[in-house]
């Protein structure tokens, strides 16, 4: 099973290292994704800087600046949703809190594969200069030509 966390127009599937915005894959670094996962697992609760740093960098000693810079990247990524006032609140000197409602769920293997395939297709379709993906016709016949 793959855990999911839905918030605003986003869907996070941590086990697939996947963040979707309106069903399209979002490019986000692994550390920022780990931070997001730690925060959405405990919505509304304080997650201390120490907890975040030990989770994201478990075998490495890093400075607090690394946490701050990755949190900045994460906030910029989430700011693409104009309907949200903000997702992450800073608790000065202590840590961070995810302040928007989160709906936790699970995807089965088939559902996760479908979500991943849809995200990859949407990402491919959204890239200019690439031909659209056309699914095969029923019965395995060659796909119809796409109109461009």
Task: Give the tens place of pLDDT for each residue, 18-73.
Answer: 999 998 999 999 999 999 999 999 999 999 999 999 999 999 999 999 999 999 99
How confident is the model over 63-92, as pLDDT tens digits?
Answer: 999 999 999 999 999 987 666 678 999 999
Those residues whose C-beta lies under 8 Å from the C-beta of residue 91, and which sit 6 or more positions away, are 46, 97
**Domains delineated in the chain:** 2-128 (1.10.10.10)
Please determine, for residue 128, whether its predicted confidence score (pLDDT) is greater than 50.
Answer: no
Q: What pLDDT, on the 0 to 100 scale, is given for residue 107?
A: 84
**Which residues are CB-neighbours of 113 under 8 A, at least 6 positions away?**
none
Q: CA-CA distance, 107 to 3, in Å (whole number)?
A: 6
DSSP β-bridge partners for residue 89: 97
Closest CA to 96 of 60, 57, 58, 70: 70
Give me the count of residues in the chain.
148
Model confidence pTM above 0.85: no
């Amino acid at each position: 099973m793959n855990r999911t966390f839905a918030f605003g127009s986003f869907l996070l599937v941590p086990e697939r290292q996947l963040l979707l915005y309106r069903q399209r894959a979002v490019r986000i670094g692994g550390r920022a994704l780990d931070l997001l996962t730690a925060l959405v697992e405990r919505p509304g609760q304080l997650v201390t800087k120490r907890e975040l740093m030990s989770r994201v960098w478990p075998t490495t000693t890093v400075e607090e600046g690394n946490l701050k810079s990755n949190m900045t990247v994460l906030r910029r990524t989430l700011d693409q949703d104009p309907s949200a006032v903000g997702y992450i609140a800073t608790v000065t000197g202590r840590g961070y809190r995810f302040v928007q409602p989160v709906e936790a769920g699970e995807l089965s293997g088939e559902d996760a594969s479908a979500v991943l395939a849809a995200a990859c297709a949407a990402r491919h379709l959204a890239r200019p200069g690439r031909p659209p993906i056309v699914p095969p016709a029923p019965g395995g016949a060659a796909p119809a030509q796409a109109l461009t």
